[in-house]
Amino acid sequence: MGRHRLSVIRKQSLVSGLPLPAFRLPLLALLLLLAWPWVTMNEVWAQETAVSPLLTGRIRDAQEQPIFDAQITAYSGAEVLAEGVSQEDGRYTLLLVAGDPIPDQISIRVERRHFRETTYELPNRAIESLRQSNLLHTPIITLERRITPGFWIATLIFVGMLALIALGKLHNTLAALLGTSLIFAVSYLGAPLYEGLYIFHFEDALRYIDWNVIFLIMGMMIVIAVVERTGVFQWTAYMAYRLSGGRTWLLVIILMIVTGVASAFLDNVTTMLLMTPVTIRIALSLGINPLALLMPEVMASNVVGISTLVGTPTNILIGSYGEIGFNDFLVNLTPGVVLALVGLIAYNLYIYRHDLQLSSAKGSVSEVLLQRLAERGRITEPEHLKKAGVVGAGMILLFVLGEKVDLLPAVTAVMGATALLVWIKPDIEEMIEAVDWTTLVFFMALFISVGAIQEVGLISFIASGIGQLVGDNLTLAMLAVIWLSAVLSTVIANIPFTAAMLPVIGFLSANIPGADSKVLFYCLSVGSAMGGNGSLIGASANMVTAGIAERAGSSITYMYFLKKGFPALVITVSLATIWLFIRF
């Protein structure tokens, strides 16, 4: 009270204290003018703070997945009461004008491309409740899918893209870019002529790109580019030969373990690019069939690569979508992978027993070649390797511990790559060139293509179909996901396949009792990666290995790979399936 009075006195003295009374009127006018915006703002504020009736709710599809970007309109007769848009989680909020009487009849209209327009009429008691409390939570509104010509075109484009990749008619990236361009061409040029052709717009497409995946892959590529130039692969392979002491069976086991461990932290393609030439040299030196070493290596690479989040692009995709961290993969998959590797080693030692024994009996070891092998089997950049080792260890630590502070793997990878570049100061142009931009563009275009079939509803239909087949049976769902993805990965490139399957797995995980443990994501990881062993085109690492072997006179034909690789698929996927059933 005292403070209030004091302020009044001060105001009076400010005006009355002026020497010339003639100035008082204009000054008051000026003060009023200056105060005017403040007064009007207060009026607006007063209007806004008056309680506005609020309508909230959620929009989802038939598979109980949230629908974002749906246009929601509350209306009464011809009068629009409020408008809004649903968010990522499908929630929406409509704010009615404060002070206006709430009409006796209110309807909520929901409009979204690729869905049927749906209207929900508020019951009388809901309107009464809104009048009393100014807040109403409406029931979940489920939208039904609408099959448009855009649906068929997006499906056709996606299947065409997969076919172009599988048949090798176009480079993966070019095929994905072609698919993306066609989707936009239809949406932007076709839809104005006929609305049903609409698929989605560029802004919507960007929403589907998983930047966590892009930055994680990019960061790891830079680290790999530094590591691969140090000669560590050549040294390791040579040490494997020395450790084996000329026992070829032991050499096979060591090379499989070395390749597997390398693949768990680096991408499989790079691992095989660097391991294959030196492995062929070892085989030539020992006078054995190079394929008896290469095939076990590439199979081990495909199997062991999935033991960590960063081991394969498919795991990176799965981890980002399913919010599965580095530790989760280690705990839930690595034991199964070890089990599968043991089976794989036994299988390879059996099928190549003649190749390995024959050479020992021949005693065809070339001393000249072994000498050359020893000369090249050394670390060429020890300082860089030490620094890469320190940074790599730090990154693994952050991958493991970062989950506690929500540190995304992509951030760790980019920080690690930057730290390494700052520390070793390489030629930055060379390092930038070492980043496989075509692969990154492939991923971006792929995300958009998968986004298109998700947008038009194809993924929902597939999810719904699988959901009906497996029902509430988690065991059946696990078997279906593992084996379907394993077999399909032998003919379809596993990256686009995995990307397309993720929303399906997300739906099944949300709807099958017990699947919230994310077990189906691990099933997808096992199937899509180990399925790569089923055929030559099943994994990029297979193609690279075959390409190098071919240039050293050892052909790995499609049939040869199928004959050796498919039984390996059956063995490893079976063992991993057993593990997943034990674990979950």
Partner 1 sequence: MSGIICAIRGGASSQPTINQAILTANETKLPIYFLYVLNLDFLKKASQSRTHTISEEMQELGEFILLAAQAQAERQGMIANGVIREGHIIGDEIIGLCRELTADYVILGRPLAAKAENIFTHEQIDQFGRHIEQETGARVIYPTGDGT
Does residue 144 contact residue 115 with C-beta atoms inside 8 Å? yes
Does residue 281 contact residue 238 with C-beta atoms inside 8 Å? no
Does residue 244 contact residue 232 with C-beta atoms inside 8 Å? no
Q: How many CA atoms lie within 13 A of 240 on its CB side?
A: 26
- CB closer to partner 1 out of 183 and 226: 226
CB of 166 vs partner 1, minimal distance in Å: 12
CA 349, CA 577: separation in Å to the nearest integer? 22
- CB closer to partner 1 out of 144 and 433: 433
Contact partners, residue 430, CB within 8 Å, separation at least 6? none
CB of 541 vs partner 1, minimal distance in Å: 8
- CB closer to partner 1 out of 341 and 541: 541
CA 462, CA 229: separation in Å to the nearest integer? 45
Q: Which amino acid appears at position 180 of this protein?
A: T
- CB closer to partner 1 out of 79 and 375: 375
CB of 569 vs partner 1, minimal distance in Å: 21
- CB closer to partner 1 out of 228 and 403: 228
| Binding interface with partner 1 (CB under 8 A) | 168, 171-172, 221, 225, 228-229, 234, 269-270, 273-274, 277-278, 280-281, 284, 290, 366, 368-369, 372, 376, 430, 433-439, 540, 543-544, 547-548, 550-555, 557
CA 551, CA 555: separation in Å to the nearest integer? 8
CB of 547 vs partner 1, minimal distance in Å: 3
- CB closer to partner 1 out of 441 and 487: 441
- CB closer to partner 1 out of 201 and 229: 229
What Rg do the C-alpha atoms of the chain give, in angstroms?
A: 32
Nearest Cα neighbor of 155 from 460, 560, 396, 419 is 460
Q: Which two tokens stand for residue 153?
A: 């075109």
- CB closer to partner 1 out of 435 and 444: 435
CB of 217 vs partner 1, minimal distance in Å: 12
Q: Which amino acid appears at position 47 of this protein?
A: Q
CB of 183 vs partner 1, minimal distance in Å: 24
Q: Which amino acid appears at position 255 of this protein?
A: L
CB of 455 vs partner 1, minimal distance in Å: 30
CB of 369 vs partner 1, minimal distance in Å: 6
433: buried, middle or exposed (CB in 10 Å: 19+, 13-18, 0-12)? Answer: exposed
- CB closer to partner 1 out of 539 and 580: 539
**Cβ density class 218-257: b for 16+ within 10 Å, e for less:** bbbbbbbbbbbbbbbbbbbbbebbeebeeebbebbbbbbe
CB of 436 vs partner 1, minimal distance in Å: 4
Contact partners, residue 73, CB within 8 Å, separation at least 6? 80, 82, 83, 108, 109, 111
**Alpha helical stretches, state H, 104-147:** 124-133
